[in-house]
Structure 1
Amino acid sequence: MNKLIYLTLKNLKTRLAKQPILWVQRELGYIKPCTCAFYKAATPDQIYSLVKETGFFLPTSYIDFLKMHDGAILFQDQSEYVNPPWYIFGLEEIMEYSEQNELPPNLYAIAKFSQTIIFIDSSRVKEGREDYLFEGSILNLADEFKAIDLNFELWFERLIVSQGSFFWYWNNYSLKNYQPEEVSLDELNEMEE
């Protein structure tokens, strides 16, 4: 069992058992109440069936996740705005997504947030590479897949720590391209009310 996957899931579920609503703070000071849901575990036979049917190579950390939970819904917004959650795909969602979308044969989807899809490059997993995660968009699956230089265990752990943020973009923002917004005293008083 992958230690990072195990501890990340165990500790998140421990927090949720004590407090089922997580107050998640996102970029730009936005805060929202969220819940998480976890599917039942996939059996080794179910995992083997997917591999046999598709020919996909699954990284061991993702297999370990599936053995604990065959999918999850993370950071489901419970506010009036109802922003989308993160869907971590189980075996059935992998198959459905592959059947419904034209993808390069080496890619399969494992997670979704709104229009963003996270893919595993099966050929990189087969080669033993750890940089097998890619990002794509539902709006343009033809040929735009961007490497995010992570494996599943690091991506998943950081997704939980960052409370569902697109943390892999954080290095793109620095003092060179960040414009702080000033708020007047009147606006601050209105925000406090």
Structure 2
Amino acid sequence: MEVIEDLLRAFKSLLDDEGKINVLWYNSLESGIAVNSFNPPVGKEDLAELVDKHPDVPSSYIDFLKIHNGASLFESYSSELKMNIGGGCYLYSAQEIININAEHPIPDYLILGSLLDGQMLLINKEDNTNSPNERPLVLWGEVGDLTHLHVDFTMFLHRYLTAQGASFWEWPNESISRYKANLKHRKKNWF
């Protein structure tokens, strides 16, 4: 729990009293504001029910729930509209994990959260690559396509916070020429 606790403490020290943080949006090269919100710790009964129904929940996610029973990370904020306008990542509470996996079961997978661009954050319950308690995360898109992230929950959270909510898992697949073409498309004459 110490790693998750230290990571969250360091990240939250960067936020203002409303959970806002100034960010550099990766895809647009513009600055903006993102909002983060954290639920209080999970109750003992809810945690016991989650572990009973879903013993495959990673131990690092359980550590997270003991600190914050769910969170919304890097949701875009519009200063003009004075409201959150979407995006980011939503990490489910214990009860939300129980409910969504009962309502929308995906064989061999457990839903832990969602990226607010329509993807679900999952673990493969059958993948013991790292250890039985720390399975790698997978993204499930709207059309059922899977993206293996090759990170466990602790590594995902650390990288997601460090990348300011950007899709860090796509970066290794981006060539220099594609990167520069994307930048030129977004900002004319940038290079």
1:157 & 1:85 partners in 2: Cα distance? 15
Amino acid at match of 1:23: N
Q: Is the alpha carbon distance of 1:177 and 1:183 closer, same or farther for their aligned partners in structure 2, counting shifts above 3 Å?
A: closer
2:189 & 2:124 partners in 1: Cα distance? 49
1:162 & 1:68 partners in 2: Cα distance? 22
> Could you say which residue in structure 2 is the equivalent of 1:37?
37
1:92 to 84, 92, 95: 95
Q: Is the alpha carbon distance of 1:68 and 1:125 closer, same or farther for their aligned partners in structure 2, counting shifts above 3 Å?
A: farther
The superposition leaves residues 134-166 of structure 1 with CA deviations (integer Å, 9 ceiling, x where unpaired) of 1111x224xx32221110000001100111111
Q: Where does structure 2 lack aligned partners over 5 or more consecutive residues?
A: none
2:9 & 2:95 partners in 1: Cα distance? 23
> Could you say which residue in structure 1 is the equivalent of 2:188?
183
SS in 2 for 1:23: strand
> TM-score normalised to the size of structure 1?
0.81
1:149 & 1:88 partners in 2: Cα distance? 18
Q: Greater CA radius of gyration, 1 or 2?
A: 1
> Could you say which residue in structure 2 is the equivalent of 1:157?
158
Q: Is the alpha carbon distance of 1:25 and 1:48 closer, same or farther for their aligned partners in structure 2, counting shifts above 3 Å?
A: same
SS in 2 for 1:15: coil
Q: State, as a whole percentage, how many aligned pairs show the same letter.
A: 22
Contact 1:34-1:75 within 8 A present in 2 as well: yes
> TM-score normalised to the size of structure 2?
0.82
1:117 pairs with 2:123? no
Q: Which one has the bigger helix percentage?
A: 1
Amino acid at match of 1:136: W
SS in 1 for 2:56: coil
Amino acid at match of 1:74: L
Kindly tell me the number of residue pairs found equivalent between the two proteins.
Answer: 179
1:48 pairs with 2:51? no
Amino acid at match of 2:166: S
1:9 & 1:140 partners in 2: Cα distance? 32
1:97 & 1:118 partners in 2: Cα distance? 12
Query: RMSD between aligned alpha carbons?
Result: 2.5
Q: Which one has the bigger strand percentage?
A: 2
CA offset at residue 2 of structure 1?
3.6
> Could you say which residue in structure 1 is the equivalent of 2:20?
21
> Could you say which residue in structure 2 is the equivalent of 1:60?
59
1:136 pairs with 2:140? yes
